[in-house]
Amino acid sequence: MNSGSTVFSQLMEFVPRYEFRKCINRYHGQYKVKCFSCWEQYLSMAFAQLTYRESLRDIESCLRAAPEKLYHMGFRGLVARNTLANANSVRDWRIYADFAQTMIGIARPLYVGEDLGFELEKTVYALDSTTIDLCLAVYPWARFRKHKGAIKLHTLLDVRARIPTVIVITSGKIHDVNMLDRLWFEPGAFYVMDRGYVDFARLHRVQKASAFFVTRAKKNFKFRRQYSSVVDKSEGIQCDQTVVLTGFYARQDYPEKLRRIRYLDPDTNKRLVFLTNNHDLRAIVIAQLYKARWRVELFFKWIKQHLRIKAFYGTSENAVKTQIWIAISVYILVAIVKKRLNLEQSLYNILQILSVTLFEKTPILQVLSRHNGNVPDGNAHNQLQLFD
């Protein structure tokens, strides 16, 4: 790395500029733009995410505090809050959505060898959504209930890599199960989801795609047992059954056999009933697969805690989606840097270090390596860790 460049500039060197330009050209992002390019918009918003800026005025003030360094950070001039607000409002958010997907494609192979926590060579995906509450008076386009606004982030997470592979932003009114209509199912992969996604017609699509699902049975689940397998109750497995659906419509939607596993969680002493179309894995592995679903919940909590996706710099739908997608791309960027520089620190510690060193002219590897990753604060153990 060039020691004369700021840490921010060195960090942006990990961004594939050619791919970014392709996304801009795809949606004509530079049409009639004479100043403050899409790249400068991305830099400004990425800087805001990395340094936890609270508002557009906050972004403007911080960037103007070091005007002599802006050119070397990629800016051609001073950043004005009105210019940034207009760019967020009118420039197509799909530019940054496509670019985030490009970054995801770069990051996933870097984490392909990560430990899943149990023995399974197949790819495992966790599907879930999180709701971001919005003030209906400020965001009238995001109507959720009569006096409440909200949007949803539907996410398909690669459990092994802890990297989101699909993210869809919708109104808060859209039910989670509708996400299954928008997915292409990878043959041989496992899709783990909670019982909010139980729709037998849609789950049969997973079966027909030669993929596997693991979910929880609803309380009113009606079935007929065909036979039971021998189980090891010392592992917490209480029963392992092959069943067929008995409901008239459910039987039409899913005419094939299902596997029903009842598991007693030793930590909470809670009985859980799992449904899956995989009849080969050991019952305890199915239970472990469902437990791994928690990683998508951890992902949601992490990005809400450490990135700016709950308070927004603009009020239009385009501005909100632009901010969310740039936040996700920054998360992926830091994950890429962690792997390519062979850093042992957690993403949280890397973000904390970057937030106070972006203007320094020190090699980024030196900046990130001189910290051992141990936070002296006594509350450090409360921080969410996505990568150990």
DSSP 55: S
Plot region of 188 (φ>0 → left; ψ -120 to 50 → alpha; else → beta): left
pLDDT at 116: 83
- Distance between CA 227 and CA 335 in Å, rounded? 46
For residue 328, the tally of other CB atoms under 10 A from its CB is 25
Q: Where are the domains of the chain?
A: 7-96+315-382
146 vs 290, which has greater pLDDT? 290
Phi, psi of 225 (to 5 degrees): -75, 135
* Model confidence at 377: pLDDT above 50: no
Tokens (6 digits) for 106: 């770069």
- Distance between CA 294 and CA 116 in Å, rounded? 13
* Model confidence at 124: pLDDT above 80: yes
* Model confidence at 375: pLDDT above 90: no
Write down the residue that tokens 């990135």 correspond to.
Answer: 307
The DSSP code sequence of 103-129 is HHHHHHHHTTT---SSS--S-EEEEEE
Residues 248, 254, 255, 256, CA torsion sign? negative
pLDDT tens per residue across span 292-320? 999 999 999 999 999 999 889 999 999 99
State the chain's maximal CA–CA distance in angstroms. 75
pLDDT tens per residue across span 332-369? 999 999 999 999 888 899 999 999 999 998 899 999 98
pLDDT at 382: 52
- Distance between CA 302 and CA 316 in Å, rounded? 25
On the 0-12 / 13-18 / 19+ scale of CB atoms within 10 A, 215 is buried
pLDDT band per the 50, 70, 90 thresholds, residue 383: low
Run of H or E residues at 368: helix 364-369
Plot region of 207 (φ>0 → left; ψ -120 to 50 → alpha; else → beta): alpha
- Distance between CA 76 and CA 41 in Å, rounded? 11
Least confident of 268-272, 283-287, 371-375, 376-380: 376-380
327 vs 161, which has greater pLDDT? 327
pLDDT at 146: 86
Run of H or E residues at 366: helix 364-369
Under 8 Å between Cβ of 17 and 47: no
pLDDT at 372: 54
- Distance between CA 27 and CA 5 in Å, rounded? 31
CA dihedral 286, 291, 296, 302 (to 10 degrees): -160
* Model confidence at 130: pLDDT above 60: yes
